[in-house]
Amino acid sequence: MPIEFDVPATAGAPSPGLAATLRKLAAPRLGMKERMMFTERLSLLLETGVPLHAALGALREQSGQSPLGETIAAIGDEIVAGARFSEALGRHPDLFPSTYVNLVAASEGGGFLAEVLVQLVEMDEKEQRLRSTLTSALSYPLFLMAFSALVVLFILVWVFPQFTQLFASIHDQLPWTTRLLMALSALLTNHAVPLLGGAAPCAGAAAALMRRPEMAARLDSLKLRVPLVRDIFIKIYLTRLLRVMGVSLEHGVTILATLGACRDVVPNADMRAFIAGLETDVTEGKGIAGSFNASPFMPVAVRQMIATGEATGTLGRVMGKVADSYDRDLNRQLAQLSRLAEPVMLLIMGVMVGTIVTSLILPIFKLSRAVH
């Protein structure tokens, strides 16, 4: 029998709570990819007739010692201890949001867990496609902006200082663009250290300002009011909100529980206030069509379809159809904006480079004429 020693805690040793916190911070975070993998494999096992606990055990073995495997093992242990599957999932909110847990809870009572898991996989796949579309639409314009900034910075820091003494004799005759660029070049080369030293505090102050609730609320309001940007964000938010609500209502989740789960689906203060208004209406026994009609940022087509779905008792299906329609429309709009942004950014780059080149060449021509 092995001998165990009780080692007293030293003053420098971290407390158990601190050690657990450090382990949690050091552990890799689980996200949508792992949730989709878990949900898809679990639905396949359940569809083939494997009991839930046995399916979780199989998934635990497949995942090995990964963080996902440890989470699955914890869920299985909680079910053995008497918890319902939805309750066990709810104890891991970082991986399973409240929408996911509510849908699973509704399916447990109705006996259609495998079907709901398939719907959850499809919902995550659509969300992933939306994120991929947003990323691809923004990546190339952002790359062009960063490349342009680097080119201009290189010219100002390296090229322009080579011409400073050459242009000193005709400084008063230089074009205003040349004088401006030379002043910027002198500022960057002579005060690089103070500028870099002040950039970090300014960036930190700006980040802290953006995190303030009142500033975040103003930015959220601007997203829903600035032309063009407003249209894109409304479609993004409606696609997420209506898809989650549609799937939830179609599978028997109550409207009040659905709205409660949707609070964190849309990261916008105005939209969260709108959802809170819907919750108030439902609590008071009213329908949700009135709040949709009263919302200033809700498209007319959505108002009409929500009113029709509520009147006919097909609200969940109508919301799903509207979400799919806005998803397709958003993908087309983002693709068009991406195609439009490329020539616009190339034009801006051309104007910038042309301005810089002419600011160098014209003074050189003046000097050459003066020599001759």
DSSP for 318-340, please give it.
HHHHHHHHHHHHHHHHHHHHHHH
N residues, the chain: 372
pLDDT in tens, 43-52: 899 888 888 8
Proportion of the chain above pLDDT 70, given as a percent: 88
Say whether pLDDT at 227 is over 50: yes
pLDDT at 144: 81
* 74-77-82 Cα angle (round to 5): 130
What residue segments make up the domains of the chain, in order of their start? 30-96, 121-372
Distance from C-alpha of 224 to C-alpha of 118, rounded to nearest angstrom: 33
Q: Rounded to whole angstroms, what are the CA distances from 84 to 90, 353, 355?
A: 10, 64, 68
Distance from C-alpha of 186 to C-alpha of 259, rounded to nearest angstrom: 58
pLDDT at 250: 85
Proportion of the chain above pLDDT 90, given as a percent: 7
pLDDT at 110: 65
pLDDT at 219: 85
Per-residue tokens: 290? 């009135």
Higher-confidence position of 198 and 2? 198
Per-residue tokens: 17? 């709570």
Q: Cβ–Cβ contacts within 10 Å for residue 244, how many?
A: 27
Query: Mean pLDDT, to the nearest integer, of 112-116?
Result: 82
Query: Mean pLDDT, to the nearest integer, of 142-167?
Result: 81
What burial letters (b/e) apply to 39-71, b meaning 16+ CB within 10 Å? bbbbbebbeeeeebeebbeebbeebeeeebeeb
Query: Mean pLDDT, to the nearest integer, of 153-169?
Result: 78
pLDDT at 7: 39
pLDDT at 18: 47
Contact (CB, 8 A) for 326 and 235: yes
Distance from C-alpha of 298 to C-alpha of 292, rounded to nearest angstrom: 7
What confidence tier does 305 reach under pLDDT thresholds 50, 70, 90? very high
pLDDT at 371: 59
Identity of the highest mean pLDDT range in 77-91, 109-123, 126-140: 77-91
What confidence tier does 4 reach under pLDDT thresholds 50, 70, 90? very low
Task: Specify the pTM.
Answer: 0.71
Higher-confidence position of 96 and 175? 96
Higher-confidence position of 303 and 216? 303
Per-chain mean pLDDT for the chain: 81
